[in-house]
Chain A
Amino acid sequence: MLLFDPLSVFFLIIILTISIPSFIYSFGYLKGHYSGRKILLGHLLFALFVLSLLLVVSAGNIFFFLIAWELMSFCSYFLVVFDSENKKSITAGTIYMIMSQIGTALLIVAFLLMYKYAGSFDFNAVKAALSLLPAKHQDILFLLLFFGFGAKAGIVPLHIWLPFAHPQAPSHISALMSGVMIKTAIYGMIRFIILTLGVNSLWWGELVIVFACLSCLVGIIYALMEKDLKTLLAYSSVENIGIILLGVGGSMMFLKLGYLPLALLAMCAGLYHLINHAVFKGLLFLCAGSVYRGTGTRNIEKLGGLIKKMPWTSSYFLLGSIAISALPPLNGFISEWLTLMVFFLGALTVAGGIKLFFGLAAAALALTSGLAAACFVKAFGITFLARPRSAKAENAKECGLSMNIGMGILGVLVVFLGLGAVYVVKLLVIVSGSALGIEGGQIQLGSNMYLPSPFLPLLLIFFLGLAFVLQRSRVSTNQTWDCGYYKLTPRNEYTATAFSKPFRRAFGFFLRPYRTANKSKDSHYHIKTFSYETHTTKIFTKYLYKNLLGWIFGLARNMRGIQTGSIHIYLGYIFLTLLLLLVFMGRY
């Protein structure tokens, strides 16, 4: 029933690593905001959710996997609609559930096809049967699995549920959903595509990388535009899933091309980023939740100056931001650096047009990291620095002990995963070997070659010392120069919208920004109020999903015509059916 190979164990560890701090955090987070029974329900659902996650990654056959997978969607749905009185939560839950079910339907088709070929749901039996299949059938299976899991992972353009569901769930759940749940889709891809189906065409890897790049860029550009803290983090999850998939896709390509060490390294990079993202995104979501509890809003335009009111939360958020922006020496840097390295090595090693492909992928990744840094400068700067922009931010309160502990554990892990990279990679080689179905021992990685050596902690100590010394130098406090205006208020501060303006201009072709101005007038000459808004167009929602929904509902509305209400027409249906069947019966 259950399966515990290194790959499963790796995911089990990640799940527990994130869920334990989240659970500790949840005590402080839920207390006082919900009734006692509801909190109990929350804990119960949380436990069930974690259990289902654990079952997903340790399921020993395909059918059991499917059940665990559905259970996971089931539990997480109720956690998304935990604030069940809130209309937004209901919408978010519905969108989440539908997207998740579309993905699952694709998976069911794939699993049933596997059963059809193998006559069994056992991984090994399926693997043996699939290797005999013609290429076309394998391609179909690959596409079904990739998009089926992709819907859960949130690859663009199947990402639309993330920015709805993550912000609406309670923060410890967001941490778990974003940090762990979407990673189970990566587990599924590795388990089913690489291990069970086997990589049989080069274009599979290429497709994965193309979608990965798309997810990276789209995710981070949307994140940059966002002013809801948790939605921003949700979009950033789309980006990070892209980075993870870059590693996985690269690994698939190298595997097919026959460069086993590179494949192993790419998988290492992907899995490293996977655990890193789990940790720092978990941390960031917990921080966002703490900000929300402390101030009552998630809109960063209304925040500011929290570093003074919530010192702990802001230092954790800073830590997470540095990590997610891939700045050394924290963990995000290591995994993104490894990924970049893999693509450069690939471009150097492989011959032909694929060189260019790897080069482009590396460029996309580099651009993404740059944008991510900008995004989190914004997120941290606007939220925590300067002066409070609203009364809510003014009256912010630091979170309690249990929330601090939850964040603290993850904060320590962020640092550890950055500084202890050498040891982590050694373990990851084993996991990656298991993920690629090759013995880890066969291939020796000169891992030190690619990695910052352990003198990094020393470097860190050096910089900390430097900072300490510098801080002791003279500090003088003066008023901000305000051109003689003397009445600087928080309204004069730099806003998130203003911060992201250059990017909105630069990516205007994709974001399609538009402005709306609303004047309400007393008379023709006197304007009472004036509101001015900038929006960006969510092109996938607008052009893909809206059209699709419109089409389906249009069809359904037309089908209402069947049920006219006239009994005569109803009887006519029966008569017509009878006649048609009797006439066409001759075919048999």
Chain B
Amino acid sequence: MENFIILGLLLSAFGMVFSKRVGALIWNFTLQSFFLFLLTFIEAVKGGGLSLYLVAVLVLILKVLVIPRIFSKMVVEMKVSEDLGFFIRPELSLIIALLLAYLSWVFSGMLFLGAAAAVAFLMMALGFFIMVFRAKALAQIIGLLAMENGIFLLASLVSGGMSFLVEMAIFFDVFVGAVILGIFVYRINRLFVSIDVSKLNRLRG
């Protein structure tokens, strides 16, 4: 069962790389978060205690329901174009993504970890990839959240999750971070009449 979920995580991560439109990206992210929720939930059922249930519910509420909803609303409200703005062609994106997959595999081996951890690293790497190679501000936020999803997976794999307090604090941070970034996206849209962050190049040198 877990293996299928991990496969789902992998596929949704690749799905994010191939998303050409903001909507698709958000949808893939939601999917990824949902798989993460499933994984945590199964862990909890297997005997993680109450706190793990709580974590699972939080994942569900925040990452599957609230954050994607906010972003979708923002896209509608700001009336920005749906296009994500690719810096490189999709074929090249695929090649790089595959290369990153290989590196994640090697890397996971270096740390005496298995395939599941490799997927976690890949989720991070692809999140990073989206942040670097996609022009829109929303893509950067989602990339960041995808990286955090990867970390979440890794944390639950290697150390059975962090202590409850820390986990909650991190959740809170991530959520607040996403909200604040959302506020800044509004400001960018108002001042620059676009959320293409590659246009933010007044400060240089």
Contact = CB atoms under 8 A, between A and B. Distances in A.
Contact of B128 (A563, A567, A575): A575
Contact of B204 (A564, A575, A582): A564
Interface residues of B, number: 17
Given A560-B205, A575-B128, A567 B133 contact: no
Interface in A545-568: 560, 563-568
A575 B107 contact: no
Interface in A562-582: 563-568, 571-572, 575, 579, 582
Contact of B198 (A563, A568, A572): A568
Contact of A566 (B128, B201, B205): B201
A567 B107 CA distance: 27
B87 A567 contact: no
Contacts of A582: 107
Contact of A575 (B87, B132, B140, B205): B132
B180 interface: no
B201 A564 contact: yes
Contact of B203 (A565, A568, A571, A579): A565
A567 B203 CA distance: 10
Interface in A275-298: none
Contacts of B135: 568
A571 B132 contact: yes
Contacts of A568: 87, 131-133, 135, 197-198
Given A568-B87, A568-B133, A571-B132, A560 B204 contact: yes
A560 B204 CA distance: 8
B89 interface: no
Contacts of B203: 565
A572 B202 CA distance: 19
Q: Report, as a range, how many residues of chain A touch the other chain.
A: 10 to 19
B200 interface: yes
Nearest to A572: B132
Contact of A563 (B103, B200, B202, B204): B204
B12 to A, nearest CB: 21
B33 to A, nearest CB: 22
Interface string A61-85: 0000000000000000000000000
A246 to B, nearest CB: 49
Nearest to B201: A565
For A564, A565, A572, A579, the residue with the greatest tally of chain B CB atoms inside 10 Å of its CB is: A565
A565 B204 contact: yes
Nearest to B203: A565
Contacts of B201: 564-566
Contacts of A564: 201, 204
Contacts of B140: 567
A571 B200 contact: no
Interface string B124-141: 000010011101000010
B115 to A, nearest CB: 19
A579 B107 CA distance: 11
Interface string A31-60: 000000000000000000000000000000
Nearest to B134: A568
Contacts of A567: 140, 197-198, 200
Nearest to A585: B110
A581 B132 CA distance: 19
Contact of B131 (A566, A571, A579): A571
Interface in B128-158: 128, 131-133, 135, 140
B198 A566 contact: yes
A311 B135 CA distance: 80
Contacts of A566: 198, 201
Contacts of B128: 571, 575
For B103, B132, B140, the residue with the greatest tally of chain A CB atoms inside 10 Å of its CB is: B132
Interface of B: 87, 103, 107, 128, 131-133, 135, 140, 197-198, 200-205
29 contacts: A560-B204, A560-B205, A563-B204, A563-B205, A564-B201, A564-B204, A565-B200, A565-B201, A565-B203, A565-B204, A565-B205, A566-B198, A566-B201, A567-B140, A567-B198, A567-B200, A568-B87, A568-B131, A568-B132, A568-B133, A568-B135, A568-B197, A568-B198, A571-B128, A571-B131, A571-B132, A572-B132, A575-B128, A579-B103
Given A567-B198, A568-B135, 17 more contacts: A564-B204, A565-B200, A565-B201, A565-B202, A565-B204, A565-B205, A566-B198, A568-B87, A568-B131, A568-B132, A568-B133, A568-B197, A568-B198, A571-B128, A575-B132, A579-B103, A582-B107
